[in-house]
Chains A and B, each alone.
Chain A
Amino acid sequence: QQQVKQSPQSLIVQKGGISIINCAYENTAFDYFPWYQQFPGKGPALLIAIRPDVSEKKEGRFTISFNKSAKQFSLHIMDSQPGDSATYFCAASKGNNDMRFGAGTRLTVKP
């Protein structure tokens, strides 16, 4: 049962462009929505996270937009760089024990 649906599965963006990855969740009890970045052969690392009391959070070139009524959230990467090429996972949880991950988006930023 996939409680977090992520799209697209893969994404190719030109250097300097905007990368957008979308996620939708089902469980309204979720109260923590992180994004993880994973480089090949490495473990994921927390990139940015949001709680449902705000609609947007920005950290440098990375922004999460959150729509509670639609049960959707997205990651925007502004001025995308080749070094951003990685797999990105959205997740949702209530408490650490119940973190549900999306299937992942493989981002390629072309120079």
Chain B
Amino acid sequence: DGGITQSPKYLFRKEGQNVTLSCEQNLNHDAMYWYRQDPGQGLRLIYYSQIVNDFQKGDIAEGYSVSREKKESFPLTVTSAQKNPTAFYLCASSIQRAGTGELFFGEGSRLTVL
């Protein structure tokens, strides 16, 4: 049963703490992405990776960091430098060379800063 698994589904953090959101895919996709979703703002790209050990900043990368040590995994760290981290975070993947453009999304992680 192929797909994208995000964990945890809900996460609470105190101000000043870093947190890491997990994203694992077994679709054998080359490209992986992190989006942030806020009410009324659609999805905004944080980081993306086209290949292992390489990643690029998206539109709102400040206060976030990622790694891509394995093809299957693309964890996102929300650092204390992110001024407004409370949001719904979505991980996605795609077949980079297929040209269809389809993104496959996980079920998301909701982060709340207390």
A: which residues have CB within 8 A of B? 4, 6, 9, 32, 34, 36, 41-46, 49, 89, 93, 95-97, 99, 101-104
B43 cross-chain contacts in A, Cβ below 8 A: 44, 89, 101
**CA A22 – CA B102 in complex, angstroms?**
20
Interface bin, chain B: 20 to 34
Additional pairs, 15, CB under 8 Å, beyond known A44-B105, A99-B101: A6-B42, A9-B40, A32-B100, A32-B101, A34-B101, A36-B105, A43-B105, A44-B90, A45-B105, A96-B31, A96-B101, A97-B31, A99-B45, A101-B42, A102-B42
Q: Which residues of the partner chain A approach B41 to less than 8 Å between Cβ atoms?
A: 103
Q: Which residues of B are interface residues toward A (Cβ below 8 A)?
A: 4, 6, 31, 33, 40-45, 48, 50, 56, 90, 92, 94, 96, 100-108
